[in-house]
Chains A and B, each alone.
Chain A
Amino acid sequence: QKEVEQDPGPLSVPEGAIVSLNCTYSNSAFQYFMWYRQYSRKGPELLMYTYSSGNKEDGRFTAQVDKSSKYISLFIRDSQPSDSATYLCAMKPHGNNRLAFGKGNQVVVIP
């Protein structure tokens, strides 16, 4: 079993729709949870960061962490064509800088 599972299937949505992405994980030591956005031929950039369980909102983006279920989610409201990218979940335990990444979800927002 991989440490982080993320269904890599491409996702196409119409502009204005809600995008829902999720990851599951197996390592109960993970404490820090992140979502990175990666545009084509660019490096990943940090989008959302959450410590332990709970929700975090930043503009149109909401990150949720449910440690009891080992499940994290990212929601994008009012999606825009500029949101078209690959979204990677990543996580790490306390005191360790090694990020464990999911495979990434390619999202296409159709105008």
Chain B
Amino acid sequence: EAGVAQSPRYKIIEKRQSVAFWCNPISGHATLYWYQQILGQGPKLLIQFQNNGVVDDSQLPKDRFSAERLKGVDSTLKIQPAKLEDSAVYLCASSLRQGEDEQFFGPGTRLTVL
């Protein structure tokens, strides 16, 4: 079974630029999550999708972050404009269905904002 795929793996941008990350969950997984993991911290949930609907985006900084999962499969997370404090690893995870306990994580995208 293929795991969660993410791209790019690394990205370096200057502050005020925009950036987008892509995630392809495990086939058949209805629930998709985006997490932000700042160096030395645990992951923090940014947004959760159930199919193509948003379940929880209460911790997403909506003035600069946006995410979509238009066809209920792939998802993109965008930051516009980026700030220095956005430097982090952005992890995508998926689970079979909402309430399913195990979340499978991708390798993450490491973002550096200069």
Contact = CB atoms under 8 A, between A and B. Distances in A.
Interface of A: 4, 6, 8, 32, 34, 41-46, 49, 88, 90, 95, 97-99, 101-104
A40 B76 CA distance: 24
A101 B42 contact: yes
Contacts of A6: 42
A103 B99 contact: no
Interface string B72-114: 0000000000000000000101010011011111111010000
Contact of A97 (B48, B91, B107): B48
Contacts of A90: 42
A41 B99 contact: no
Contacts, number: 57
Contacts of A43: 4, 91, 93, 105-108
B16 interface: no
B44 interface: yes
Q: Which of A43, A49, A88, A101 has the most CB of B within 10 A?
A: A43
A41 B10 CA distance: 11
The A interface, classified by DSSP as helix, strand, loop or mixed, is: loop
6 contacts: A34-B101, A45-B104, A88-B43, A97-B99, A98-B45, A99-B45
Q: Which of A8, A42, A90, A98: most chain B CB closer than 10 A?
A: A98
Among A6, A34, A44, A49, chain B packs the most CB atoms within 10 A around the CB of A44
A103 B93 contact: no
Contacts of A8: 40
Contacts of B55: 97
B51 interface: no
Contacts of B93: 43
